[in-house]
Amino acid sequence: MKRNTTIILILLLAGLALYALTTAEPDTFTGRIRLSGHSVYLDTASSSHLMLLTAGLIRDSVWIPSDSLQVTIRAFENSETKNLEVISITDHRGTVEIRDLDRNPLHQANSSYRVNAAGCIGCNLCPRNCPVGAISMQGRKAVIDQSKCIECGVCISGKDRWRGCPVRAISK
Ligand code: SF4
Ligand code: SF4
């Protein structure tokens, strides 16, 4: 009987812990974006964090991080990795919701961007410039991971980051 009571108590506590986890509110972090390689950091007054911009999670693919941009982020901090699981990002243009409070993505990627392997000369420039690390080199050819690509267009036109693929090997 006593054993049953202990088990019920443990289950109850586990349930309460789970409830607390799932209903927790994200923290707010304010700072500046710092781009470094394929990683996007948020430098706050107290520390720096690696933001998890796992692609396809950014609404309409319009939120492109730029260096030194001032932002406020609602996010859960992963205590082990110190990475942020971003719920929303607010910059001078407004707020972009990325995940729900259960940390599930709100916006799934369905990228149509592709590299024409025959045209790619393997210059390795697009992987360095893709803001979310969606491009990798396989052999001497660039390959876009459609589940990561946020369709920002940087690899094609360069936007303000570079000049885009020099041989026009990327299309959408
Ligand atoms: S920039 Fe163009 S040519 Fe260079 S690796 Fe990428 S797809 Fe290939
Ligand atoms: S459009 Fe190109 S640069 Fe932008 S996320 Fe997709 S692969 Fe990367």
**Ligand 2 nearest atom to the CA of residue 135, by list position:** 7
Q: Is residue 10 helix, strand or coil?
A: helix
- Reading the block at residue 24, the tokens are 């927790």
Rounded mean pLDDT of the chain? 79
CA–CA gap between residue 41 and residue 158 (Å, rounded): 21
Instruction: Assess whether the C-beta atom of 130 lies below 6 angstroms from ligand 1.
Output: no
**List of domains in the chain:** 27-97 (2.40.50.140), 114-171 (3.30.70.20)
Distance 1 CA to ligand 2 centre (A): 61
**Which pLDDT value is given to residue 53?**
59
Instruction: Assess whether the C-beta atom of 167 lies below 6 angstroms from ligand 1.
Output: yes
Annotate 82-120 with b (16+ C-beta within 10 A) or e (fewer): eebbbbbbbbeeeebbbbeeeeeeebebebebebeeeeb
**Which pLDDT value is given to residue 37?**
65
Percent of the chain with pLDDT over 90: 30
**Ligand 1 nearest atom to the CA of residue 121, by list position:** 3
pLDDT digits (tens, 9 = 90+) for 94-123: 888 877 888 776 765 667 899 999 999 999
| pTM of this structure | 0.49
**Ligand 2 nearest atom to the CA of residue 156, by list position:** 2
* Ligand 2 pocket test target in 35, 60, 116, 151 with most atoms within 8 Å of CB: 151
pLDDT digits (tens, 9 = 90+) for 136-158: 999 999 999 887 787 788 899 98
Distance 171 CA to ligand 1 centre (A): 11
Distance 94 CA to ligand 2 centre (A): 22
- Point out the ligand nearest to the CA of residue 62: 2
The answer to whether residues 29 and 85 touch, using CB atoms and an 8 Å cutoff, is no
